[in-house]
Protein backbone atom coordinates (compact mmCIF):
# COMPACT_ATOMS: atom_id res chain seq x y z
CA UNK A 1 0.00 0.00 0.00
CA UNK A 2 1.01 3.61 -0.50
CA UNK A 3 3.12 5.12 2.31
CA UNK A 4 3.39 8.77 3.34
CA UNK A 5 6.34 9.95 5.44
CA UNK A 6 6.34 13.06 7.62
CA UNK A 7 8.93 14.34 10.10
CA UNK A 8 7.66 13.70 13.65
CA UNK A 9 8.31 17.26 14.74
CA UNK A 10 9.11 20.74 13.46
CA UNK A 11 9.98 23.74 15.62
CA UNK A 12 9.82 27.37 14.59
CA UNK A 13 10.01 30.76 16.24
CA UNK A 14 7.01 33.09 16.12
CA UNK A 15 6.92 35.19 12.98
CA UNK A 16 9.11 32.77 11.05
CA UNK A 17 8.17 30.25 8.35
CA UNK A 18 7.40 26.61 9.08
CA UNK A 19 7.82 23.96 6.41
CA UNK A 20 6.30 20.49 6.86
CA UNK A 21 7.06 17.83 4.28
CA UNK A 22 5.15 14.75 3.20
CA UNK A 23 7.06 12.19 1.19
CA UNK A 24 5.60 9.56 -1.09
CA UNK A 25 6.51 7.69 -4.26
CA UNK A 26 5.81 10.03 -7.19
CA UNK A 27 3.40 11.92 -4.95
CA UNK A 28 3.18 14.69 -7.54
CA UNK A 29 0.67 12.52 -9.44
CA UNK A 30 -1.72 12.53 -6.50
CA UNK A 31 -3.89 15.18 -4.87
CA UNK A 32 -2.58 15.88 -1.38
CA UNK A 33 -4.57 17.35 1.47
CA UNK A 34 -3.46 18.70 4.84
CA UNK A 35 -5.37 18.89 8.11
CA UNK A 36 -4.53 20.53 11.41
CA UNK A 37 -5.41 18.99 14.75
CA UNK A 38 -5.12 20.84 18.03
CA UNK A 39 -5.14 18.93 21.34
CA UNK A 40 -8.56 17.58 22.23
CA UNK A 41 -10.12 18.78 18.98
CA UNK A 42 -11.24 17.23 15.72
CA UNK A 43 -9.05 17.83 12.66
CA UNK A 44 -9.63 20.82 10.40
CA UNK A 45 -8.61 20.99 6.74
CA UNK A 46 -6.08 23.75 6.05
CA UNK A 47 -5.01 22.92 2.48
CA UNK A 48 -6.68 20.66 -0.09
CA UNK A 49 -5.83 19.50 -3.59
CA UNK A 50 -2.13 20.31 -3.10
CA UNK A 51 -2.47 24.07 -2.77
CA UNK A 52 -6.05 25.27 -2.28
CA UNK A 53 -7.33 26.75 0.95
CA UNK A 54 -10.78 26.21 2.44
CA UNK A 55 -12.69 29.36 3.25
CA UNK A 56 -11.68 30.78 6.60
CA UNK A 57 -8.10 29.50 6.48
CA UNK A 58 -5.52 32.32 6.52
CA UNK A 59 -3.39 32.98 3.46
CA UNK A 60 -0.40 32.20 5.66
CA UNK A 61 -1.13 28.52 4.96
CA UNK A 62 -0.05 27.27 1.55
CA UNK A 63 0.85 24.00 -0.11
CA UNK A 64 2.84 22.61 -3.00
CA UNK A 65 3.49 19.21 -4.52
CA UNK A 66 6.39 18.18 -6.73
CA UNK A 67 8.33 15.03 -7.42
CA UNK A 68 8.24 12.81 -4.34
CA UNK A 69 7.42 15.53 -1.81
CA UNK A 70 4.37 17.58 -0.90
CA UNK A 71 4.92 20.57 1.37
CA UNK A 72 2.80 22.59 3.76
CA UNK A 73 4.19 26.06 4.40
CA UNK A 74 3.02 28.33 7.19
CA UNK A 75 4.37 31.87 7.04
CA UNK A 76 4.43 34.36 9.92
CA UNK A 77 3.84 31.53 12.37
CA UNK A 78 1.71 32.33 15.41
CA UNK A 79 1.39 30.58 18.76
CA UNK A 80 -2.10 29.45 17.71
CA UNK A 81 -0.62 27.44 14.84
CA UNK A 82 0.88 24.96 17.31
CA UNK A 83 -0.77 21.66 16.44
CA UNK A 84 -0.35 18.30 14.74
CA UNK A 85 -0.47 18.41 10.95
CA UNK A 86 -1.36 15.41 8.78
CA UNK A 87 -0.99 15.00 5.03
CA UNK A 88 -3.36 12.54 3.38
CA UNK A 89 -4.47 11.40 -0.04
CA UNK A 90 -6.69 8.94 -1.88
CA UNK A 91 -4.75 5.90 -3.05
CA UNK A 92 -6.52 4.65 -6.18
CA UNK A 93 -4.63 1.40 -6.41
CA UNK A 94 -5.32 0.47 -2.82
CA UNK A 95 -8.88 1.86 -2.80
CA UNK A 96 -8.22 3.60 0.49
CA UNK A 97 -7.31 6.87 2.12
CA UNK A 98 -3.74 7.10 3.41
CA UNK A 99 -2.49 9.43 6.16
CA UNK A 100 1.03 10.44 6.95
CA UNK A 101 2.18 9.82 10.50
CA UNK A 102 1.69 13.45 11.45
CA UNK A 103 4.04 16.30 12.34
CA UNK A 104 3.90 18.13 15.66
CA UNK A 105 4.53 21.82 15.07
CA UNK A 106 6.01 23.56 18.10
CA UNK A 107 6.13 27.34 18.25
CA UNK A 108 9.16 28.29 20.32
Partner 1 sequence: EVQLVESGGGLVQPGGSLRLSCAASGFKFDDYGMHWVRQAPGKGLEWVSGINWNSGGFGYEASVRGRFTISRDNAKNSLYLQMNSLRAEDTAFYYCVKDIRGSYYGRFDYWGQGILVTVSS
Footprint on this chain of partner 1 (rule: CB under 8 A): 1, 31, 33, 35, 37, 42-45, 48-49, 84, 86, 88, 90, 92, 95-102
Give least dist CB 61 to partner 1, A: 16
Give least dist CB 105 to partner 1, A: 14
CA distances (Å), 92 to each of 29, 51, 95, in order?
11, 20, 5
Give least dist CB 1 to partner 1, A: 7
Report the residue number, 37 or 75, with the smaller CB distance to partner 1. 37
The helix, strand and coil proportions of the chain, stated in percent and rounded to the nearest 5, come to 5, 50, 45
Report the residue number, 1 or 26, with the smaller CB distance to partner 1. 1
Report the residue number, 9 or 17, with the smaller CB distance to partner 1. 9
Helix (H) or strand (E) holding 73: strand 69-74
Separation of alpha carbons 46 and 62, rounded Å: 8
Amino acid sequence: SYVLSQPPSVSVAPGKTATITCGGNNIQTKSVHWCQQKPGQAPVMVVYADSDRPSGIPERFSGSNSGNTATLTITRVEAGDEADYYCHLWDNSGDQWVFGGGTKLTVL
